Amino acid sequence: MQKLSDLLKFKYTWRTYQQKFLDGFQEHIKDGHLHVIAPPGSGKTILGLEILTRIGKPTLVLAPTLTIRNQWRSRLLEFFTAKHDFEFLSLDIKNPDFITFSTYQSLYALTKSFDDKGKEMLVEFIKSHGIQTLVLDEAHHLKNEWWHCLYHLKEIEGLTVVSLTATPPYDSSTTEINRYFSLCGPIDDEIAVPDLIKNGDLCPHQDFVYFSKPEEAQIKYIVNYREQILNFTKNLIANKGLQEKLITQDFYVNPKESLDYIYQHPTFFSSIIIYLNSCGYAVNEQNLKILGFSTNDVSFPSFTYEWSEALLQNLLVDQRETFMAFEDILMPLEKELKRIGVLEHKRVNFVGDEVLYRNLSNSPSKLESIYQIVKSTDANLGADSRTVILADFIRKEFLDFEGSDTKVLNKLGVVPIFKYILAKQTGDEKLGLLTGSMVIVHENALLKFKQLLSVEKLQVHPVEGSLGYVFIHVPDALKNKIAESITQLFEDGVIKTLIGTKAFLGEGWDAPCINTLILASYVGSFVSSNQMRGRAIRVDANNPDKTGTIWHLACLDPTAADGGKDMEKLQQRFEAFTGVSLHNEIYISNGIDRLVLPIEWSETTDLEAINADMLEQAQQKSEFKSRWYQAIEKGNVLVRELKIPSASDQPFAKTKKLHALNAGKYVMLEVVLGVSMFVPEFLIKNMGAVIGKGVVQVIYLFCAALILGFGPKTFKALKLYFLFGNQYKKTKKIGKALLAYLLDDKTSYFESKNAIIHVEQHIKGTFSIYLKDASQHDSNVFISLLEEIIAPIDNPRYLLVNSNWLKRKLKIRSYYVVPTDIGKNKKEALLFQKYWNTHVDRSKIQFTRSLEGRKVLLKARFSHLKYQFEAVAKKSITWK
C-alpha cells in the first residue's frame, strides 16, 4: 500500500482557523495525545480525517451512532478522494482495514464476545491488526461500561489517541469529568466560535433565559420540604442518645490512640466536634490539640447542612458497619431521612438537589414561558419565524386534552407544549410535532407532506381538542423519510414552530433555517441539547442575514437565595459555550455572567421585568449582530483565565471558596475611615479639657479612646492581612512561582517558553490572571494548576506551610496546596517549593501522608473555615 497521505488528499482550501490548527498539529501530537474542541460548523470530521492521514498509521475511528459513523466514511470519500475509490477502509470492527469506522457500541460488543478474558483479548485483537491510532469522536457519549475497554486500549504501547468533541461534559459529576479527561487527555486546542463567525461559518447569535416561578402546589411542596429538614435538624441537635454515643467513642475520648482513624476521616471527625459544640458540649481539649488549636484559638463554624451531611453520610452509609452499636439510634434517623427524601441512592443531601430539581425542572410554569417566547417571536419575525422546541418526553397521556383549562397540563413534554400553545393561541395552523413515534401536522400541510413522501394516501385521524390537526400513521417503509419531509415543510414555512424530542431532533438532524431554539430539555447531560444549539447557530444559505436566538428556561426556587438547582444547572450549561455579552461592556466569554443577571434571588425579584427585557433584547437582531463583530475585532484568540471575584460579587457561592486574601485591606480601610471620623468628633467634645487640663493629658485620653475603640478592629485587620496578604499581589506572585516551575528545563510537558503572566483588575475588585504568548494546552495546564493551589484544601500529598515570627505570635499559619500533578513525587514538589520561595514567601514543604503530616493537613483544612469570604475562583474562557 502507498503512503496514506498520497492516497488521501483534501481537495479544497482550508479555512483560516482550520489551517491555524493544522499548523500546530505536530507540536500537540508529540505526547501521543490530541484533544480538540471543535464546535458544530467547524468541520470537525474533516479535520479528524486530515489528522489521521498525517499520522499515517492504521486507524480505528469510534463514533457514538451509526449515522455519525457513516458520515465519517462519506466525508472521506467525498473530500479526500478523486473518484470515491479508496479501498482500504472497513465499517466492520471484526474485520478491520487500514482505516476502520465503527461505533463505541460495536467495540463493547466485540469485547463481550471474547467472554471472560474480553479486555485482554481485545488488546491482543487490536495489536494483531496493527492498529496504532485511535480516534474518539464525541467521547462524552460513552456509557459507564464502555470506558473500561477503552482504558485497556490506552495501555497499548505507542498507541496515539485523538479525541474530538464539540462539547466536553462540563455539567457532569466530578468523577465523570475526571474520567473523561483521563481518557482524552487535557485540551490541546480549541477552534473558537468567534473565528467561525468572523469567517462566516456560524451566524451571530445570543442566548437568553426566561424565568418562571413554581406553581402554588410546587411552592407548598418546597416549603414543606424545607420545614421538615428544619424540624429534623432541630431534633438532631436535641438527640441526647446520639450525643451520648458519640462522646463515649474511643477516637473522641482518647484521640491520641486513634490518630490513624482521625486522619483517615478528618471531615467526619470535624463534623462530630462541630455537632457536639452546637449541642452545647465543651469540646475536649485533646481533640482541639489534635486539630492544632488551643481552647481560646478556635471559633467554631455553625452546624450547617453541609456539616450535617458529612456527619450522617458517615454514620448512615459510609461507615455504617463501624457504628453497629448505634443501630437503635441510626435506624429511626435513616427512616426519617428517607421519608423526607434527604437520603436517596446511599447519599445524604439536605440541600435537596435532586428532589427539588426534578420538581422544578419539570414545572408546568415553563409551558407559559414557552408560549410567551413563541408569541413574541411570531410577532417579531412574522412569516420568517422558524422555531424549534426541544423536550425530553412525549407525554402521550395528554393527547386527549381539550379546552382552555391549562392547569390540567401539569407536566413538561412534547404533547403538553403542543396542547398549551394551541389552547392559548387558537387558530394557529403552523405548528408541527415530530418524534420517533409520532407525527402531528395541520390538515392544510397534508397535501405538501404527501408530495414530499411521494404517496397518494396517508392514514390519519383528528387530534382531539386540536381543531384542524391530524395524527399521522406512518408506514414503516417511510419512516426514514419522515424527518426529511417534515424538515422541508419547516424550511418552506408550512410549519413555523416545530416541537420534538431531544432524542429524535438531536444529533444527525439538520435544518439551517432555525432562527429560534427553545431548550425545554432537562434530563441527563445537556450535551445533546448543546449539539442542537449548534445547529441553530449555523448559517443559512437561503438567508445570509440570519441570526440565531437560543432560549433557556429556569424555574426558580423561591426558598433558595441562589435560585435553586434549576438555576445551578443552567449556570453549568453556560460554562460549556462562549457568547457575546448582552449589556454594557462588549466582550466574548463563556459563563452566564455575560447576561448580567441578579446575584441574589428572592420572592421580591421582579421576574416579569427581567423576562420583558429578555424578550425585547431578543428582537434587537442588529444589535447583537453588531456586538459580535465589535467584540471579535477586540481580540484574536480564546484565552483561559482564572477569575477571582471580590467578596461582594459572589455572596452565595457554595463551592470552591477562596481564602479572603485581601480581608485585611478592607478591615483596615474601615479602621482608617473610623479614625478620620473619630478625631474631629473627639476634639470638638473635649475642647474644654484641652483648655483646662493641658494638651498632654488630652493626648493620653485620646490614645486610650482610640485603642479601646479601634484596637480590636486593627488587630483583626493585621491578623487577616498577615494570614493572607493582599489578594491581587499574592495571586500574581503565586502565578509567577508556578510559571517559573513550568518553564524549568525539567518540566517537559510545558512548551510555551515565551509565556508571560498577565493580571487584569476589573471593577468591584474582581481580577483575572492568564498567560500571554502560550498555547491553548499550556494555558489550560497553568490555569488548572493555579486553581488547585488557591482552592480550599482537600487531601493533597504535599502542603506549603508558611510561619514567620510575627505569624507565630499571632498564632497564624498560611497553607497552600502543592497541586496533584506537581506533588506526585518529592523531587517535583521540592522543585516547585524552590520557585515558591523565590517569588512568594519562605514556606516549608510538608508531606501529609505521615502522622505529623496528617495533623498539619487537618489543621490546614480546619483553618480555612475560620477566615474566608464567599468568593469563588473559577476558570473562564475569554476572547482577547
Position 328 scores a pLDDT of 95
Position 389 scores a pLDDT of 95
pLDDT band at 868 (very low <50, low <70, confident <90, very high): very low
pLDDT band at 318 (very low <50, low <70, confident <90, very high): very high
119 has a pLDDT exceeding 50: yes
Position 669 scores a pLDDT of 46
- The answer to whether residues 236 and 308 touch, using CB atoms and an 8 Å cutoff, is yes
Cα–Cα dist 431/387, whole Å: 10
Position 704 scores a pLDDT of 57
718 has a pLDDT exceeding 60: no
Cα–Cα dist 349/343, whole Å: 6
Position 308 scores a pLDDT of 93
- Using a pLDDT cut of 70, give the percent of the chain over it: 84
- The answer to whether residues 287 and 273 touch, using CB atoms and an 8 Å cutoff, is yes
Maximum average pLDDT range among 178-192, 217-231, 733-747:
733-747
Cα–Cα dist 96/131, whole Å: 9
Position 659 scores a pLDDT of 37
Position 293 scores a pLDDT of 63
815 has a pLDDT exceeding 70: yes
State pLDDT tens for residues 216-265.
888 888 888 889 999 999 999 999 999 999 999 988 888 888 888 887 78
Cα–Cα dist 384/492, whole Å: 10
For residue 36, the 8-state DSSP code is: E
Q: Which residues contact 54 (CB under 8 A, 6 or more apart)?
A: 5, 25
Cα–Cα dist 106/121, whole Å: 15
* Long-range Cβ pairs for the range 824-831 (8 Å, 24+): 824/797, 826/798, 829/797, 829/798, 831/741, 831/744, 831/746
Question: Which of 148-157, 177-186, 426-435, 465-474 shows the lowest mean pLDDT across its residues?
Answer: 177-186
Cα–Cα dist 618/621, whole Å: 7
Cα–Cα dist 623/582, whole Å: 9
* 703 vs 5: which has the higher pLDDT: 5
Instruction: Flag whether the pTM goes above 0.75.
Output: yes
Question: Which of 248-257, 485-494, 720-729 shows the lowest mean pLDDT across its residues?
Answer: 720-729
pLDDT band at 55 (very low <50, low <70, confident <90, very high): very high
Question: Which of 266-270, 850-854, 864-868 shows the lowest mean pLDDT across its residues?
Answer: 864-868
Position 398 scores a pLDDT of 95
From 38, 206, 189, 178, select the one nearest 640 (Cα to Cα).
189
Question: Which of 34-38, 52-56, 308-312, 563-567 shows the lowest mean pLDDT across its residues?
Answer: 563-567
Position 294 scores a pLDDT of 61
Dihedral of CA atoms 446, 447, 452, 458 in degrees, nearest 10, equals 60
State pLDDT tens for residues 679-690.
555 555 555 555
Cα–Cα dist 589/770, whole Å: 14
State pLDDT tens for residues 774-807.
887 889 889 989 988 988 787 899 999 987 666 5
What's the whole-number mean pLDDT along residues 756-774?
A: 85
What's the whole-number mean pLDDT along residues 596-624?
A: 92
Cα–Cα dist 352/341, whole Å: 8
pLDDT band at 85 (very low <50, low <70, confident <90, very high): confident
Question: Which of 191-205, 685-699, 810-824 shows the lowest mean pLDDT across its residues?
Answer: 685-699
375: left (phi over 0), alpha (psi -120 to 50) or beta: alpha
Position 699 scores a pLDDT of 61
pLDDT band at 266 (very low <50, low <70, confident <90, very high): confident
Which residues in 281-309 are b (16+ Cβ under 10 Å) and which e? eebbeebbebbbbeeeebeeeebebebbb
Position 118 scores a pLDDT of 78
Position 653 scores a pLDDT of 33
- The answer to whether residues 394 and 437 touch, using CB atoms and an 8 Å cutoff, is yes
What's the whole-number mean pLDDT along residues 469-487?
A: 86
Position 763 scores a pLDDT of 62
395: left (phi over 0), alpha (psi -120 to 50) or beta: left
What's the whole-number mean pLDDT along residues 263-289?
A: 85
Q: Is 541 helix (H, G, I), strand (E, B) or coil?
A: coil
What's the whole-number mean pLDDT along residues 663-667?
A: 43
Place of cell 431548550: 519
Position 658 scores a pLDDT of 36
Question: Where do the H-state alpha helices sit in 576-726?
Answer: 607-619, 621-633, 663-685, 687-693, 695-724
CA distances from 664 to 644, 670, 871 (A): 17, 10, 15
Position 707 scores a pLDDT of 56
Cα–Cα dist 129/58, whole Å: 8
Q: Spell out where 790-849 has E strands.
A: 798-802, 814-817, 844-847
pLDDT band at 545 (very low <50, low <70, confident <90, very high): very high
Position 27 scores a pLDDT of 81
Cα–Cα dist 731/733, whole Å: 5
DSSP string, 264-307: HSHHHHHHHHHHHHHTTPPPPHHHHHHHT--TTS--PPP--HHH
pLDDT band at 531 (very low <50, low <70, confident <90, very high): confident
349 has a pLDDT exceeding 70: yes
773 has a pLDDT exceeding 70: yes
Position 12 scores a pLDDT of 93
Q: Chain-wide mean pLDDT for the chain?
A: 84
What's the whole-number mean pLDDT along residues 853-868?
A: 68
- The answer to whether residues 270 and 264 touch, using CB atoms and an 8 Å cutoff, is no
What's the whole-number mean pLDDT along residues 81-107?
A: 93
What's the whole-number mean pLDDT along residues 536-555?
A: 93
524 has a pLDDT exceeding 70: no
Maximum average pLDDT range among 348-357, 534-543, 693-702, 871-880:
534-543
* 844 vs 721: which has the higher pLDDT: 844
From 89, 149, 141, select the one nearest 113 (Cα to Cα).
149
* Long-range Cβ pairs for the range 819-828 (8 Å, 24+): 819/784, 819/785, 819/788, 819/789, 820/788, 820/796, 821/785, 822/741, 822/785, 823/796, 823/797, 823/798, 824/797, 826/798
Cα–Cα dist 822/816, whole Å: 13
* 876 vs 499: which has the higher pLDDT: 499
What's the whole-number mean pLDDT along residues 196-205?
A: 94
pLDDT band at 473 (very low <50, low <70, confident <90, very high): confident
* 382 vs 190: which has the higher pLDDT: 382
* 371 vs 285: which has the higher pLDDT: 371
- The answer to whether residues 649 and 591 touch, using CB atoms and an 8 Å cutoff, is no
133 has a pLDDT exceeding 70: yes
What's the whole-number mean pLDDT along residues 865-876?
A: 57
- The answer to whether residues 645 and 591 touch, using CB atoms and an 8 Å cutoff, is no
Q: Which residues contact 375 (CB under 8 A, 6 or more apart)?
A: 424, 425
Place of cell 442575514: 545
Residue 539 sits at the vertex; the CA angle it makes with 535 and 543, to the nearest 5 degrees, is 125
851 has a pLDDT exceeding 80: no
